[in-house]
């Protein structure tokens, strides 16, 4: 029985521009001169280094441990020597420089000792979760959420449906499509492992209608325990909330998570990484990256994490002349790169080269409502724009700013060329910064009040003890003097009994 599909609101039909890269087999990106591994390649807390300068490491060796629950370790992408631990460019607009571990490869690509898990189906789900956490696996679909956290949520909550997301909806990007075609066995086996880890009742693998080769590769491997579904090619069908709506008809509540309605979503590349971790003990040290656009040889590359972007561009025939516009990610949700020495990390899925052009002049909003029609979250982009622009943080949040998935549909259709997503991102960052500042101020105030209370208790204790002590001293002195007077009087009486009367 075929699964009934449901339409999600808004969205766009876009030119895909995928034919250049989805039909060509991937290439292994050559080993770079230096590997630069940021300590934070995912949502959550950065990892903490456990290696020192000059130390020799091997491929797959843990070089930084997780620093909290929402954190994952970092592993060496190849064997070599640690030559630096410090700040390096990472391409994040919010934090352009971040702490990284730099490895000088020795060319041997020598693996560290790794331990596979045999017969995963008989392993306790929590043990499987620990293996995935220790292998440093984070979501490879773009957000980079630590995979073990989602698995733990699944263990703690009843999971009805596990969705393996192969819907690669943004134009130009084909890294997941190519991965499925070349590693379909990894994806299907990894899906079964994740399903066991979260004890899901149902498992669905979804791909787009314009991915026929991937669908055919998966169709040969799935059995009754996995449902394979084609979804319409419509942007942003690959968004988590949109895919859940299409496949189940349910909507994730505002401010909520998919687990709240019994659904867990993982990317196909994450499933393949889980397969490697469980069957081979391999940490996450590489990924598929689409390099496309205005380059001589558009291709998907298998890239070691930490490889500089300019190395990948060079492999695909990019000629740097200063005129091109480089986008990290796709044309709808990607960010412009100002420099090309930043490293490939776990969330890097595409490098897009486009001809440089002057952005269209931003004009006043004409209140046409086109942005409302295409919003897949059913937000009011125009109202969000006004409040974000005026820095009215309370009103922006009242209009559900943080439900915005930054898909770019609103900006794409805006006739006034207003960069709406940029306004939303800026507002989110300001609210997040204000929240951090407020939490810091609350913490400081709590400490200040606690200190004042402690000092006050100490002062009251001293003030209460001193009079009592003073009173006791005075009474003791008076008693001593009285006794002394009595002793003198007794001695006098003994010498002359007549001295005891009145003078």
246-293, pLDDT tens digit by residue? Answer: 999 999 998 888 998 999 999 999 999 999 999 999 999 999 999 999
Q: Dump the DSSP string for 306-373.
A: T-BHHHHHHHTT----S-EEEEES-TTT-EE-S-S-PBP-TT--EEEEEE--PPPPP-------HHHH
Residues of the chain with pLDDT under 70: 1, 118, 142, 154-156, 463-480, 484, 488-503
Is the Cβ–Cβ distance between 206 and 384 less than 8 Å? no
CA dist., res. 475 & res. 473, Å (int): 6
pLDDT at position 493 is 59
CA dist., res. 268 & res. 303, Å (int): 17
Closest CA to 183 of 281, 78, 271, 310: 271
Torsion of CA 125, 126, 129, 130, to 10 degrees: -140
Domain edges within the chain: 19-309
Which tens digit of pLDDT belongs to each residue from 99-149? 999 999 999 999 998 888 767 887 788 888 888 999 999 988 767 778 888
CA dist., res. 93 & res. 131, Å (int): 32
Options 3.40.50.300, 3.40.309.10, 3.90.340.10, 3.40.50.11540; which CATH number does 19-309 get? 3.40.50.11540
Strand order in 56-57's β-sheet? 35-38, 97-105, 80-89, 56-57
pLDDT at position 1 is 59
CA dist., res. 205 & res. 265, Å (int): 10
CA dist., res. 298 & res. 91, Å (int): 22
């Amino acid at each position: 029985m075929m699964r009934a599909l449901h339409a999600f609101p808004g969205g766009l039909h876009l030119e895909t521009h995928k034919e250049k890269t989805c039909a060509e087999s991937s290439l292994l990106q050559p080993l770079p001169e230096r590997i630069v591994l940021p300590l934070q390649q995912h949502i959550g807390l950065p990892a903490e280094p456990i290696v020192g300068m000059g130390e020799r490491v091997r491929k797959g060796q843990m070089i930084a441990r997780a620093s909290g629950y929402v954190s994952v370790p970092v592993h060496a992408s190849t064997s070599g020597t640690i030559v630096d631990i410090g700040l390096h460019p990472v391409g994040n607009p919010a934090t352009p420089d971040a702490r990284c571990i730099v490895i000088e490869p020795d060319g041997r690509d020598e693996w560290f000792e790794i331990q596979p898990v045999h017969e995963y189906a008989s392993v306790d789900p929590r043990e499987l979760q620990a293996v995935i956490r220790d292998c440093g696996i984070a979501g490879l679909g773009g957000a980079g959420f630590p995979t073990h956290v989602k698995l733990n949520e699944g263990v703690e909550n009843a999971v009805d449906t596990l969705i393996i997301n192969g819907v690669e909806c943004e134009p130009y990007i084909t890294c997941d499509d190519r991965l499925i075609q070349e590693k379909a066995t990894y994806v299907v086996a990894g899906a079964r492992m994740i399903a066991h880890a979260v004890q899901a009742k149902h498992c669905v693998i979804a791909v787009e209608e314009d991915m026929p080769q991937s669908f055919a590769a998966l169709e040969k491997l799935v059995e009754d325990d996995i449902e394979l579904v084609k979804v319409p090619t419509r942007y942003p069908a690959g968004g988590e909330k949109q895919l859940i709506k299409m496949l189940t008809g349910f909507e994730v509540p505002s401010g909520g998570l998919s687990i709240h309605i019994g659904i867990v979503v993982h990317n196909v590349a994450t499933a393949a990484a889980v397969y490697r971790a469980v069957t081979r003990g391999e940490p996450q040290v590489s990924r598929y990256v689409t390099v496309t656009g205005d380059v001589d040889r558009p291709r998907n590359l298998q890239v070691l994490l930490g490889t500089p972007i300019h190395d990948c561009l060079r492999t695909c025939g990019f000629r740097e002349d200063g005129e091109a516009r480089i986008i990290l990610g796709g044309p709808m949700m990607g960010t412009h790169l100002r420099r090309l020495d930043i490293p490939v990390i776990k969330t890097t899925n595409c490098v897009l080269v486009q001809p440089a052009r002057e952005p269209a002049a931003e004009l006043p909003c004409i209140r046409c409502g086109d942005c409302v029609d295409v919003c897949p979250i059913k937000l009011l982009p125009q109202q969000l724009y006004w409040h974000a622009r005026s820095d009215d943080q309370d009103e922006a949040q009242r209009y559900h700013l943080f439900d915005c998935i930054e898909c770019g549909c609103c900006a794409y259709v805006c006739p006034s060329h207003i960069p709406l997503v940029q306004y939303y991102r800026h507002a989110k960052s300001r609210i997040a910064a204000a929240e951090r500042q407020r939490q810091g101020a609350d913490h400081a105030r709590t400490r200040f009040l606690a200190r004042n209370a402690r000092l006050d208790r100490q002062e009251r204790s001293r003030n209460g003890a001193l009079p009592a002590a003073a009173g006791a001293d005075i009474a003791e002195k008076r008693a001593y003097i009285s006794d002394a007077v009595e002793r003198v009087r007794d001695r006098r009486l003994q010498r002359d009994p007549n001295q005891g009367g009145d003078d």
